[in-house]
Chain A
Amino acid sequence: MNMKRTILAIVVFVLVLGYAFAGGKPEGEEVKTKEEVITLEMWGIATSGKPTASRFEKAIELWEAENPNIQINMVNTTDAAYKTKLKTAMGAGQLPDIIFSWIGTASHKPLVDAGLVIDMRPYMEQGGWLEEYSPASIASVTYDGGIYATMTMAGARTVANFYRSDIFKQVGLGEPDPLKPPAWDKYKSILQKLMGSGVTPYAFGNREKWPGSFWFMFFLDRIGGADAYPNAADADGTGSFTDSPFIEAGRRIQELVKMGAFGEGFNGRSHEDGSPMALLYRGDAAMMLQGDWIYGNFKKQDPETAAVTKTFPFPVVPGGVGNPLNTIGAPGGQALSVSKSSDHIEEAVEFLRFISTDDRIQEMIVKSGVLTYWKGFSGMIEDPVVAKLVEMDSQSPTKQLWIQEDLPAEVSEVYLNEVQAIFGGQDPAAAMQRLEDAHARHWAWAAK
């Protein structure tokens, strides 16, 4: 009996506490004042630890100040959990008004194919909205002529070799040109010099698999040119993943692995929990082939390392037909789409127009150190490292979008697994054959 009374007491206590802190208004209750207030719900991945979080916050602040009757409620989830949350809601037929997706066939296109998001081209063609974008960025969300998302709030993404100039100096290496890709022999000699001095060339964690994908993409592009991948990946493309550039790319990766360029234990090492960063900061490794965002991480986590960080492009590969200036990455911005089933499509589009074109917001984004090509803003980039990255990226004729986002999700998973397997020593020809099979199977499946 005593037990029951204790439990009861606890429950009552907790309930009281809960209501004291609950703050009361149930979700979605609209405050009816003289004007009716609309709340738009936007789902994204700008959790508070990310640079995008404050950008969205300020943007929403600016909007709500000028449009007090249209409130924006942003619900943020971590990258990993976002897909689960969104798909559950969608599977149950409940969509938020504005939806974030990763661009490409893996995440965004299924929404378009299922008819869940609106074509915004009619809106974009008015008022100079469309002109804000580079052709490449808007092309990435265009399907059959319709534009199914706006691109904003984040910069373009590019990948380069980030290296510690102090370590290079220590082992007697000069600083590579930040804009010109080094020749293969010169590149290998850099690696050998580092290893000879007991430094692992690359800090590399491939458990999440996407870091390894950068290597594959670059080698593929250098060896086979910008058309190699689209030929293989397009449903009506003439190529296949078993074409020689793919296999050659795999072999080059294994050449570097055997050399010791990545050290050991990289397939089990997580990138996201910071382990490779630790290697770099402690000087056990000297370089990282990573996306431009990594520089922001350096600045936050170890300013001393950031102060000596410089970049240089991915090397040229002998016998390759690809333009050595090509880069990989993503065009600028996060893709935000408007749900077709939204009750407030007009308002949602207006909000997206605002955050995509308003000068104050664009200035804020550029000042926060991202790569961007908005007209008239490139002069605002203050950090020299970022400036060099922008230069390197802007001289590139083609930028290949992340393959793991460009392939359909099912095939993308196989792609990442096979690349990781190649890093682990499996035969590239067999790996690519399996990828080709999975690819063929997917399209056969999708067709019926």
Chain B
Amino acid sequence: MKNLGKAIVFTLAVIWLVIDVYPLIFMVFVSMKSSKEYLSESIWALPDAFDLTNYVEVMKSGFYIYYLNSVFIVAISIVVLILAATMASYAFGKLRFKMNAPLYTLFMAGMMIPVHVTLIPIFRITNLIGLYNTRIGLVGPYVAFGLPVSIFLLTTFMAQVPNELEEAAIIDGANKWQRFAKIAVPISIPAINSVMIYNIVHYWNEFVYALILINDPDKRNVNLGLWAFYGDHQVDVPNVLAALALSVLPLIVTYIFLQQKIVKGMIAGSVKE
């Protein structure tokens, strides 16, 4: 009976795997076709040649610049976000102070703001501080946008850290920073991991803020860079998919990299007894 149950679960998982992988395979196959091939021949046909001409074309068209821009913007934003969010979550989750509940609610309210409402104000502010049309100018809005959810997830996690650990550390004379860095953060690594994945994906695929705050083509991120493949009321699908496939690659690599680190971290620092 047990084996049947396991078999069913496994089958369902495989079915889901197919549903997940099919679009990716479709994307890769189409990205290897020429535009003519894609439109003129059956959509099921394998590419004439498994060649990477589209990819080369995409890269040559300056796409690697957009890549670097995206990496630059996302890396800085994530670092700032994680630092600010973990610190704030530690305060909300573990420290007692008067403004705890109101400020936490303020951040929660931030989760409920639809992004388009913020466009004009953020444009104004960015212009005011002279960061219009700069890549660094995107970091502020990105971090601000990512803070509510990150703080939400991290605070609930940190609040669960057993108080005994904190109290023991206090007795040992540790101050807030030490308790934060040596206890709270390491224990919260699974949550930090989730938060990082959530935000990295979001930042990497972000479009609207980049649209309104960036003008120069050489400052564009990956998603704006796709415009090179939009013609007169027509999308050059194979090239766009090639660009998108290239775009997904670093994300997957980052995810795998993070997963390794997390697993190692959990095995090594397993504190929950």
Within 8 Å by CB, do A and B touch in the complex? Answer: yes
Interchain CA distance A10-B212 in the complex, whole Å: 28
Interchain CA distance A84-B61 in the complex, whole Å: 26
User: Which of A47-79 touch B at CB < 8 Å?
Assistant: 47-51, 73, 75-79
- For A1, the closest partner residue in chain B by CB is B181
Q: Is A92 an interface residue (CB 8 A)?
A: yes
In contact, A274 and B237 (Cβ under 8 angstroms): yes
State which of A112-120, A173-181, A293-301, A345-353 sits at the interface with chain B: A293-301
Chain B, 67-79, contact with A by CB distance < 8 Å: what is the 0/1 string? Answer: 0100110011001
Q: Is B229 an interface residue (CB 8 A)?
A: yes
A-side contacts of B230, CB under 8 Å:
47, 49-50, 78-79
In contact, B227 and A11 (Cβ under 8 angstroms): no
A-side contacts of B38, CB under 8 Å:
274, 278
Q: Is A319 an interface residue (CB 8 A)?
A: no
Q: How far is the CB of B192 from chain A (nearest CB, A)?
A: 9
- For A91, the closest partner residue in chain B by CB is B120
State which of A18-26, A158-166, A387-395 sits at the interface with chain B: A18-26
In contact, B36 and A302 (Cβ under 8 angstroms): yes
Q: How far is the CB of B164 from chain A (nearest CB, A)?
A: 23
B-side contacts of A1, CB under 8 Å:
181
Q: Is B42 an interface residue (CB 8 A)?
A: yes
In contact, A92 and B123 (Cβ under 8 angstroms): yes
A47-B227, A92-B120, A274-B235 are contacts. A27–B40 as well, Cβ < 8 Å?
A: no
* A-side interface size class: 35 or more
A14-B75, A27-B215 are contacts. A272–B235 as well, Cβ < 8 Å?
A: yes
In contact, B68 and A21 (Cβ under 8 angstroms): yes
In contact, A49 and B40 (Cβ under 8 angstroms): no
Q: How far is the CB of B253 from chain A (nearest CB, A)?
A: 13
Chain B, 188-213, contact with A by CB distance < 8 Å: what is the 0/1 string? Answer: 01000000000000000000100110
Task: Give which listed residue, A14, A85, A277, contacts B39 with CB less than 8 A.
Answer: A277
Interchain CA distance A84-B208 in the complex, whole Å: 9
A-side contacts of B135, CB under 8 Å:
18, 22
Q: How far is the CB of B200 from chain A (nearest CB, A)?
A: 12
User: Which of A254-307 touch B at CB < 8 Å?
Assistant: 271-274, 277-278, 281-282, 291, 293, 296-297, 300-305
Q: Is A17 an interface residue (CB 8 A)?
A: yes
Q: How far is the CB of A379 from chain B (nearest CB, A)?
A: 25
Chain B, 224-252, contact with A by CB distance < 8 Å: what is the 0/1 string? Answer: 00011111111111000000000000000
Q: Is A89 an interface residue (CB 8 A)?
A: yes
Q: Is B218 an interface residue (CB 8 A)?
A: yes
Main secondary structure of the interface of B (DSSP, over half): helix
Q: Is B65 an interface residue (CB 8 A)?
A: yes
Q: Is A31 an interface residue (CB 8 A)?
A: no
Interchain CA distance A303-B261 in the complex, whole Å: 52
In contact, B127 and A92 (Cβ under 8 angstroms): yes
Knowing that A272-B234, A301-B234 touch, tell me 4 more A-B residue pairs with CB under 8 angstroms.
A21-B68, A93-B124, A274-B235, A300-B35
* B-side interface size class: 35 or more
- For B61, the closest partner residue in chain A by CB is A48
Q: Is A444 an interface residue (CB 8 A)?
A: no
Selected A-B contacts with CB under 8 Å, 25 pairs: A14-B75, A15-B72, A18-B72, A27-B132, A47-B230, A48-B61, A48-B227, A49-B228, A49-B229, A49-B236, A50-B232, A51-B231, A76-B217, A76-B227, A78-B230, A88-B119, A272-B235, A274-B234, A277-B234, A281-B40, A282-B39, A300-B35, A301-B35, A302-B36, A305-B40
In contact, B39 and A278 (Cβ under 8 angstroms): yes
Chain B, 254-265, contact with A by CB distance < 8 Å: what is the 0/1 string? Answer: 000000010001
Interchain CA distance A28-B223 in the complex, whole Å: 24
In contact, A282 and B41 (Cβ under 8 angstroms): yes
B-side contacts of A48, CB under 8 Å:
61, 227-228
- For B41, the closest partner residue in chain A by CB is A282
A-side contacts of B181, CB under 8 Å:
1
Task: Give which listed residue, A11, A27, A79, contacts B79 with CB less than 8 A.
Answer: A11
B-side contacts of A79, CB under 8 Å:
230, 233
Q: Is B84 an interface residue (CB 8 A)?
A: no
Q: How far is the CB of A7 from chain B (nearest CB, A)?
A: 6
Q: Is B134 an interface residue (CB 8 A)?
A: yes
In contact, B68 and A17 (Cβ under 8 angstroms): yes
